[in-house]
Structure 1
Amino acid sequence: MSVNCLRISVTDRCNQRCVYCRPRGDGDFLARAQILRAEEILRLVRLFAECGIDRVRLTGGEPLVRRDVIPLVAGLAGADGIREVALTTNGVLLEAMAADLKAAGLSRVNVSLDSLHARSYGRITGRENLSQVLRGVRRALAVGLQPVKINAVILRRLNASQILDLAALSLDLPVIVRFIEYCPTSCRTEPAEGYMPYAEIRGIVENTFGRLTETVVVPGNGPAAYFQIDRGARDPWPGSGDLWPVARDPRHGSRGTGYGIIGFIAGRSMVFCSSCNRLRLTSDGLIKPCLYSARPYDVKALLREGASDDRIRALLRAIIAQKAGLSRLNASREDFCMRKVGG
């Protein structure tokens, strides 16, 4: 698998406190001087593009809290060799920013949405802004940031009961819903007992919606496996989310207009190292060939000591070449915080 995707964490700051990412007591935010500046990110992406990277995804923390994120998107979208700029967001600020992001050159968005029930959403995120996030999803659809993918991390004691509601959302709105296995980390997150494996989540969906048919979703080319819900089984689940009428606003899609496509990212129960096509750049300038890499590479130090393009490019090529030999077997355990490495 060729390495052509770069995930860039543009900030470690976030306006939510999700239990699987940023629990209380997870430490201070980085000082602004420690964060890569926009011009540093753009320089690195230009050099990465010369090494074969053609897709960029912005993450956080929450990328939309970064003040210069829209001009940064514009710079990335205009970079030679970059075919796509995408973004993963919690959706809180998306309604207000979607149009400007699209105009700047953003291709599409993934929105973290772990529940359609206000109470459990609040327990997971520490905030009460579910309706705001749903408005952001609809706004993203309206301005053409498509496909919109909904990312739902499933936690046994918090939102496992809403798996069917989330699956049904793929039928109500033209979005792709992806169920993500919870990854416990060293950052005082939800206990490992909250983990639900892919097979169990899929079984819950199939018990109501019938057998899922494997399908292909091209944009992203990542680790998710995608499936089509049988179109003849569109109405077995009415949906019981607190804000279901909001989600099913007829101006933005109703039962029968959604794709009916769901995905699964089985980061713990399955190993997809051989098909991984991405590198990670943390907000403080570390390159991680793998989420579980024990040894990141400090490229910020090179940038700020005045290293030449040739020197940095040589490092990037060496990192890309090294990635081919990586696997979970020779990487570290979950010794990181998601908000610091870009999830």
Structure 2
Amino acid sequence: MGVNCLRISVTDRCNLRCVYCRPQHDCDFIEREEVLKSDEIHRIVRLFADCGVDRVRLTGGEPLIRKDITSLVTRLAATKGVSELTLTTNGVLLYQMADELKAAGLDRINVSIDSLEASSYKKIAGYDFSSKVVRGIRKAIEVGLEPVKINAVILRGINHSQVVALAAMSIDLPVTVRFIEYCPTSSNTQAAEDYMPYDEIRTIIEDAFGPLCNATIERGNGPALYFRIKNSAGAIGFIAGRSTVFCESCNRLRLTSDGRVKPCLYSPAEYDIRQLIRADAPDEQVRDVLKKIIAGKHAFTRLNSPAQEFSMRKVGG
């Protein structure tokens, strides 16, 4: 499959502290001068677009805490060759920012919420902002940042009791609720022990609502499998990133907040693009490097590879 999607971590900082996002004892943030500036991100996106990358997703950390996020959205949305600009957020600041993000040119949004119940939300995220996030989801629908996708990581013994409640959001709201298998890192062993596989989550949903129907919606950029609860307004998705290997169909690259391109989360390979950008390397030189990265994307498969040490807030969730 051609590589046409770039996920950019615009900051490694976040206003939550989710147990599955950081390796244990991960308290260090990247120095601010090491984080890519708006001009640098725009240039990298422009050059990636020259190489056929036409879909860009902004992530973090939490992208909405970046002070220039709205102006960055405006610039990237206007970049020649970029056909879709999306953003993944924890939703805490979404209610007050949805209007300006839509006006700036953002196409749609993904919202991460792992529980609708206060205590389990707080156990995962460190704080209870669950009601604020739901309010933000409704606002995103209202302003047209659609289709809104809701991402939930289910951990046994922590929020597995919320599977039915989260799935039920798709009955009345035109949202796609996606259940994501936990992606382990070599030091995040506790969360790894709480891992719940896709088939177990699906069984819980079907026990509550009956057999899921195939959803006739666009597959999109990623590996999700989509279904629907009968007569529902929205859809259910599953991203079985741990129990299923989909390397051959992966079409994405990741740009870390300090300017390194990672072809794959499970590969140790990364390429320092910030160094080229800050050395004022000509466009042609940077473009040639990006083309080589894209060409080598599928030279690696995670099958039987060990878990890599990384922080999701740095590489982009």
Which of the residues 320, 324, 329 maps onto 2:298? 324
Find the aligned partners of 2:256 and 2:197 in 1 and give their Cα distance.
28
Asked whether the equivalents of residues 198 and 265 of structure 1 are also in contact (C-alpha less than 8 Å), the reply is yes
The answer to whether residue 244 in structure 2 is matched with residue 264 in structure 1 is: no
Name 2:79's counterpart in structure 1.
79
1:1-343 to 2 correspondences below 5 Å: 1-22=1-22, 25-188=25-188, 190-218=190-218, 220-231=220-231, 258-259=233-234, 261-329=235-303, 333-343=307-317
Q: Is the CA contact (8 Å cut-off) linking 1:153 and 1:180 kept in structure 2?
A: yes
Q: What residue in structure 2 maps to residue 248 of structure 1?
A: none
3-state SS of 1:80 partner = coil
The amino acid that maps onto 2:168 is A
CA contact (8 A) 2:23 2:311 kept: no
TM-score (norm 2): 0.96
Describe the shift of the 1:281–1:94 C-alpha distance in structure 2 as closer, same or farther (beyond 3 A): same
Shift of 1:217: 3.0
Question: 1:115·1:159 contact (CA, 8 Å) conserved in 2?
Answer: yes
**RMSD (Å) for aligned C-alpha atoms:** 1.5
Distance in 2 between the 1:189 and 1:72 partners?
36
CA contact (8 A) 2:23 2:185 kept: no
Letter in 1 for 2:227: F
Secondary structure of 2:286's counterpart equals helix
Counterpart residue number, 1:242: none
TM-score normalised by L of structure 1: 0.89
Deviation at 1:192, TM superposition (A): 1.6
> Identity rate of aligned residues, in percent?
62
Q: In the TM superposition, what whole-angstrom CA distance separates every residue of 1:148-189 from its partner, at most 9, and x where no partner exists?
A: 100000000111111111111111211110000012224546
Contact 1:181 1:266 in 2 (8 A): yes
Q: Which runs of 5+ in 1 are unaligned?
A: 232-255
Would the alpha carbon gap of residues 4 and 47 (structure 1) be closer, same or farther in structure 2, given more than 3 Å must change?
same
| Contact 2:214/2:228, CA 8 A, preserved across alignment | yes
Moved over 4 A (4+): none
SS at match of 2:180: strand
Corresponding pairs, count? 317
Alignment partners' CA distance in 2, 1:144 and 1:38: 25
Deviation of the 1:190 alpha carbon: 3.7
For the structure 1 residues 188 and 332, does the alpha-carbon distance in structure 2 shift closer, same or farther, using more than 3 Å as the test?
A: closer
**Cα displacement (A) at 1:53:** 0.4
Decide whether the 8 Å contact of 2:23 with 2:310 is kept in 1. no
> Is the 1:186–1:334 Cα contact (8 Å) retained in structure 2?
yes
| Partners of 1:192 and 1:55 in 2: CA distance | 31
Distance 1:301 1:336 in 2: 20
For 2:208 and 2:299, locate their aligned partners in 1 and report how far apart those are by CA, in whole Å.
41
Give the Cα–Cα distance (whole angstroms) in 1 for the partners of residues 248 and 216 of structure 2: 18
- How many Å apart are 1:23 and its aligned residue? 6.6
Measure the CA separation in 1 of the matches of 2:175 and 2:254: 26
Query: Partners in 2 of 1:89 and 1:190 — Cα distance?
Result: 24
List per-residue Cα deviations over 1:213-255 (Å, max 9, x = no partner).
2224327321110011122xxxxxxxxxxxxxxxxxxxxxxxx
